[in-house]
Amino acid sequence: MASKTVDGYTWEPATGVVKGLKTDAVVKPAQSLGSKDNIYDAVVIGAGYAGLAAARDLALAGTFWSSSYSGRSVLLLEARDRIGGRTYTVNKDGFLYEMGGTWVTHHMGYLFREMQRYGMDRDLVTTGSPDMHKGYYTMDVPGAKPRTLSHEEAGAMQAKAWDVFVNVDGQYGRTLCPLPHAQLDNIMVDRETVEKWDQFSCQDRFDQIQDQLTTEEQGLLVSLLLHISGGDMQTSSLWDMIRSHALLMHSSDNFTDVWLRYKLRAGQTELAKRMFHDAKARGIDYSFSSPVQSISQGAEKDGEITVATHGEGAFRARRVISTIPLNVLKDIAFSPPLSKKRQEAIDIGHVNHMTKIHADVRNPELERWNGMRFPGLLLYGYGDGRLPNGNVHLVAFGADEREHFVPEKNPELAVESFNKLHPMDIQRLIFHNWSTDVYAKGGPAWWRPGYMSKYQDELQSRHGNIFFASADWAHGWRAAIDGALEQGSLAAQSVDGELGPSRPSAAVESKL
Residues in the annotated binding site for substrate: 397
Contact 70, 503 (CB under 8 A): yes
Q: How far apart are CA 218 and CA 161, in angstroms?
A: 7
Q: How far apart are CA 403 and CA 406, in angstroms?
A: 8
Q: Which residues contact 37 (CB under 8 A, 6 or more apart)?
A: none
* Residue 276, strand partner residues: none
How many CA atoms lie within 13 Å of 431's alpha carbon, on the beta-carbon side?
31
Q: Which residues contact 294 (CB under 8 A, 6 or more apart)?
A: 306, 307, 308, 332, 333, 334, 335
Nearest C-alpha neighbor of 242 from the set 187, 210, 216, 204 = 204
Neighbour-count burial of 91, counting CB atoms closer than 10 A to its CB (0-12 exposed, 13-18 middle, 19+ buried): middle
Q: How far apart are CA 474 and CA 483, in angstroms?
A: 5
DSSP class of 403: T
Q: How far apart are CA 48 and CA 78, in angstroms?
A: 9
**DSSP sequence for 197-210:** HHT-BHHHHHHHHG
Q: How far apart are CA 167 and CA 176, in angstroms?
A: 10
Q: How far apart are CA 443 and CA 455, in angstroms?
A: 19
Q: How far apart are CA 199 and CA 337, in angstroms?
A: 29
**Which residues make up each annotated binding site for FAD?**
78-79, 292
Q: Is 240 left (phi over 0), alpha (psi -120 to 50) or beta?
A: alpha
Nearest C-alpha neighbor of 44 from the set 5, 85, 6 = 85
Q: How far apart are CA 327 and CA 442, in angstroms?
A: 7
Q: How far apart are CA 470 and CA 462, in angstroms?
A: 13
**Which residues make up each annotated binding site?**
78-79, 292, 397
3-state secondary structure of 349: coil
Query: Vertex 49, ends 248 and 290: CA angle to 5°?
Result: 150
